[in-house]
């Protein structure tokens, strides 16, 4: 077997130029003390999962005022202080291009699948994957847990992973098998993955707040956030059409938070989704009567959407459902002991 890849805990970002990290836009909320904001008010913001200056600017005054102890006057003062630290206006296309150069691409383990999505799963965006059971959604998630830890030169992001498990699907044994394939130390691979079992949709949101605080505290260390699956607990916590509006509202708020986390911390957000039958498919003569759950709220929040289905034999087929970067196309892959691989007939 090849020599194992050793990841330096103290230098997770060694393959990324220092000047690139100086361009990262997130500024710790503690900097507000320099602008006259009290430590007590800063702590109130952090308790609500708002840990960076940009997070404050990305939250409406209405929602900031919902935080216990923050009056309208205090919120206005806090936002004024934030605007002095981080400009939130227009930037040039060149500046945006520099920021896009910081995007990392994490290999899926399959060259064909990587090619399909433009080189790998991108940081600073949400990638949604949906399909029926046994199409490889969870196996893709496990493979990314390991490949994210690889050096950038090997298709990784040289970073740690956070995994929110809503269905009890995380398996340490699979991580060990996949780590062996990529020559990564098994115990270290597991040590670099934070796993939490979400019990309700509200708990799921609390875990996201907790991760935001951790990402701010451990700058540049985490490069991938996985939620498997994003919708499962919402489907059980909210029943029937009577609660559909509230469900979509809460889901939309969660996805908005995930989008901000991806952009602020240069993290790839990977979410799996479920399928449901489309009752109107028979009327409109749709070939496939199934569709992803979550409606337009989830569709608009995801940057790239991947549809998975079973192929012939042990093959699986991934199709670009929606993406601003790559055209609609398909790729064939397979599931092996070592995770996701190219399919060879």
Contact 107, 74 (CB under 8 A): no
pLDDT tens figures, 207-238: 999 999 899 889 889 999 999 989 999 999 99
Q: What pLDDT is recorded for position 289?
A: 59
Label residue 239 by pLDDT band (50, 70, 90): confident
d(CA 141, CA 86): 34
- Could you give phi then psi for residue 195, rounded to 5 degrees? -120, 135
Tell me: do 186 and 54 sit in the same domain: no
Same domain, 33 and 168: no
- 131 has which bridge partners? 308
Confidence band of 279 (pLDDT split at 50, 70, 90): low
Same domain for 148 and 273?
yes
- φ/ψ of residue 13, rounded to 5: -110, 25
* 124 shares a domain with 150: yes
State the DSSP code for 134: T
How high is the pLDDT of residue 335? 96
- 196 and 308 housed in the same domain: yes
Residue 12 has pLDDT above 50, yes or no: no
The total of structural domains in the chain comes to 2
Can you tell me the distance from the alpha carbon of 93 to that of 85, in angstroms, rounded to the nearest whole number? 21
Average pLDDT, integer, range 131-154: 95
Question: Residues 178, 307: one domain?
Answer: yes
Each residue's pLDDT tens digit, 302-329: 999 999 999 998 899 999 999 998 999 9
The model's pTM is 0.85
- Please report whether residue 98 resides in a domain: no
Whether residues 316 and 254 fall in one domain: yes
Q: What angle do CA 247, 251, 256 make, to 5 degrees?
A: 150
pLDDT of residue 249: 93
The single residue listed with the structure tokens 């990314």 is 144
Query: Mean of the pLDDT values across residues 117-146?
Result: 95
95 within a domain of the structure (yes/no): no
Domain of residue 167, residue span: 103-342
**In this structure, are 110 and 81 located in the same domain?**
no
Q: Looking at the structure, do residues 76 and 139 belong to the same domain, yes or no?
A: no
């Amino acid at each position: 077997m090849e020599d194992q890849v050793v990841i330096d805990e103290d230098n997770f970002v060694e393959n990324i130029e220092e000047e690139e990290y100086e361009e990262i836009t997130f500024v710790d909320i503690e900097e507000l003390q320099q602008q006259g904001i009290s430590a007590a008010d800063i702590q109130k913001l952090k308790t609500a999962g708002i840990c960076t200056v940009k997070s404050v600017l990305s939250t409406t005054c209405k929602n900031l005022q919902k935080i216990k102890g923050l009056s309208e006057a205090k919120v206005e003062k806090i936002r004024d202080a934030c605007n002095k630290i981080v400009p939130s206006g227009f930037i040039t296309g060149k500046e945006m291009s520099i920021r896009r150069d910081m995007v990392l691409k994490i290999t899926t383990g399959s060259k064909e699948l990587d090619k399909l999505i433009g080189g790998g799963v991108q940081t600073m965006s949400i990638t949604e994957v949906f399909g029926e059971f046994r199409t490889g959604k969870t196996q893709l998630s496990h493979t990314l847990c390991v490949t994210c830890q690889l050096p950038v030169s090997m298709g990784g992001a040289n970073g740690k992973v956070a995994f929110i498990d809503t269905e009890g699907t995380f398996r340490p044994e699979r991580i060990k098998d996949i780590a062996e394939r990529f020559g990564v130390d098994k115990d270290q691979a597991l040590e670099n993955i934070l796993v939490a079992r979400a019990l309700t949709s509200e708990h799921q949101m609390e875990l996201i707040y907790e991760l935001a605080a951790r990402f701010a505290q451990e700058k540049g260390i985490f490069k991938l956030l996985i939620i498997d699956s994003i919708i499962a607990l919402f489907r059980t916590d909210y029943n029937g059409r009577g609660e559909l509006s509230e469900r979509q509202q809460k889901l939309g708020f969660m996805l908005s938070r995930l989008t901000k986390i991806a952009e602020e911390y240069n993290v790839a957000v990977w979410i799996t989704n479920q399928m449901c039958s489309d009752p109107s498919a028979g009327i409109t003569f749709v070939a496939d009567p199934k569709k992803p759950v979550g409606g337009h709220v989830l569709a608009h929040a995801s940057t790239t959407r991947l549809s998975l289905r079973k192929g012939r034999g042990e093959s699986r087929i991934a199709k670009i459902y929606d993406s601003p970067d790559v055209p609609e196309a398909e790729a064939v892959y397979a599931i092996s002991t070592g995770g996701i691989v190219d399919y060879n007939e």
